[in-house]
């Protein structure tokens, strides 16, 4: 077998180009990315009163409040940050709320996704993850959502789609970290 440097270089170029194209296609599919590692970089939104009332009743929020301040204290608004997005169409406001402060865990946080219809808030998804990715692809008319979490040796991506009045898991993939 004869060593052909030009063929090897051509193969490396093609593989590098294809890997870049796959990465670019994956990146294009993400419309909004939220991470436990930082503040929301999209235009921040005020959390509607009805959304905040639901957050106050969350078991994890209540446990953090009791650990921090005791059961009879008010939940601080500073424990949350939000961004207004559109999951179905631009006529309705939807919100991604990200836990901060005592809501943060070890390299994860809680994400809540709400739909506002008039003055009524509906919790569509609650997930604990490192990243929440709102995709450009639609499933059942709504934007698909991925939650990404990692351990020392694996990365797990859980994919959600709308089913009825909330998001439900439809696929999960765990990959080994090389």
User: How is the chain split into domains, by residue range?
Assistant: 30-176
Helix (H) or strand (E) holding 123: strand 120-129
**Structural contact between residues 61 and 103, judged by C-beta atoms closer than 8 angstroms:** yes
Note the pTM of the prediction, 2 decimals. 0.81
93 bridge partner residues: none
Digitized pLDDT (tens) for each residue of the chain, 178 residues in all? 454 554 433 333 322 333 333 343 344 488 889 999 877 767 789 999 999 999 999 999 999 998 887 666 888 999 999 999 999 987 788 999 999 988 888 889 999 999 998 889 999 999 999 999 999 999 999 999 999 999 999 999 999 999 999 999 999 999 998 8
pLDDT, position 4: 52
**Cα-flanking dihedrals φ and ψ of residue 105, to 5°?**
-110, -160
pLDDT, position 71: 63
Tokens of 31: 């419309």
Distance CA 117, CA 120 (A): 5
Q: At what angle do helices 49-57 and 59-69 cross, to 10 degrees?
A: 80
115 bridge partner residues: 94, 122
DSSP state of 87: S
DSSP state of 36: T
């Amino acid at each position: 077998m004869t060593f052909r440097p030009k063929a090897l270089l051509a193969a490396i170029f093609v593989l590098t180009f294809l890997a870049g194209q796959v990465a670019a296609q994956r990146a294009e599919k993400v419309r909004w990315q939220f991470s436990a590692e930082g503040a929301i970089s999209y235009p921040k939104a005020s959390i509607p009163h009805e959304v905040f009332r639901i957050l106050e009743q969350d078991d994890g929020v209540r446990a953090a409040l009791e650990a921090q301040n005791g059961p009879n204290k008010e939940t601080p608004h500073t424990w949350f940050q939000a961004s207004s997005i559109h999951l179905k169409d631009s006529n309705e406001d939807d919100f991604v709320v990200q836990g901060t402060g005592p809501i943060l865990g070890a390299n994860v946080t809680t994400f809540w996704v709400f739909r506002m219809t008039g003055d009524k808030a509906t919790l569509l998804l609650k997930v604990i993850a490192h990243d929440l990715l709102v995709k450009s692809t639609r499933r059942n008319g709504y934007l698909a959502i991925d939650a990404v979490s990692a351990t020392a040796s694996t990365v797990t991506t859980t994919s959600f789609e709308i089913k009825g009045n909330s998001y439900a898991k439809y696929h999960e993939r765990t990959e080994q970290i090389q």
